Amino acid sequence: MATKKIFPTKSSSSLTPWLGIAFIIILLDQLSKITITRMFQLGEEKFVTSFFNLVLAYNKGAAFSFLQHSGGWQRYFFTAIGLAAAVYIIVLLKKHGGQRMFSWALSLILGGALGNVIDRLMYGHVVDFLDFHWDGVGHFPAFNLADSAICLGAALFILDELRRVNK
């Protein structure tokens, strides 16, 4: 009796570069956060340009500090969401590894999500340090490289979908 492969070889082999991209995002994200936490005290800012500072900030919530002051349960909730999303993204990458823009988008989102999950598991909060601001408007909430990768991945995902719809 022949054994049936659960995942075809072609799909499995096409998963490697996409996981590699996600790993690079995680590595750059974690190295940048380690560097900032060693160089700055919480709340400390360093002027870089007229519209950009480096700052050490902790976010116990989600995007834009959503649920930041909710008593701690959000740490586990957002960690679970990040891990569930990672599993789902890996399944999608196995299925659609040949679709380059779609897979780039998913890889960036995967790396960003796991970068922030690592923070939540290790520290109980996400380390943010990129601070953009404009005179008269104020400061955009601080963010990090993982957040940037997630946003870039989401933009690529939308672009890919628009491209697919136009075909």
The rounded radius of gyration (Å) of the Cα atoms in the chain is 18
With a cut of 90, say whether residue 11 has pLDDT above it: no
Q: 86-137, pLDDT tens digit by residue?
A: 999 999 999 999 999 999 999 999 999 999 999 999 999 999 999 999 988 8
**Three-state DSSP state, 66:** coil
Residue 22 maps to a domain: no
Residue 14 maps to a domain: no
CA 33 to chain centre: 13
Active site residue 29: no
Q: What is the pTM of this model?
A: 0.86
Residue 13 maps to a domain: no
Active site residue 128: yes
Which among 29, 128, 131, 160 is annotated as catalytic?
Answer: 128
Name the average pLDDT for the chain.
Answer: 88
Residue 24 maps to a domain: no
A 10 A CB-CB count for 158 gives 11
Which among 29, 119, 131, 147 is annotated as catalytic?
Answer: 147
Residue 145 maps to a domain: yes
Residue type, 30: Q
Residue 144 maps to a domain: yes
pLDDT confidence of 60, banded at 50, 70, 90?
confident
* Domains of the chain: total: 1
- Report the distance separating Cα 134 and Cα 140, nearest Å: 8
Range of the domain at 84: 39-166
Secondary structure element (H or E) that encloses residue 103, with its range: helix 100-123
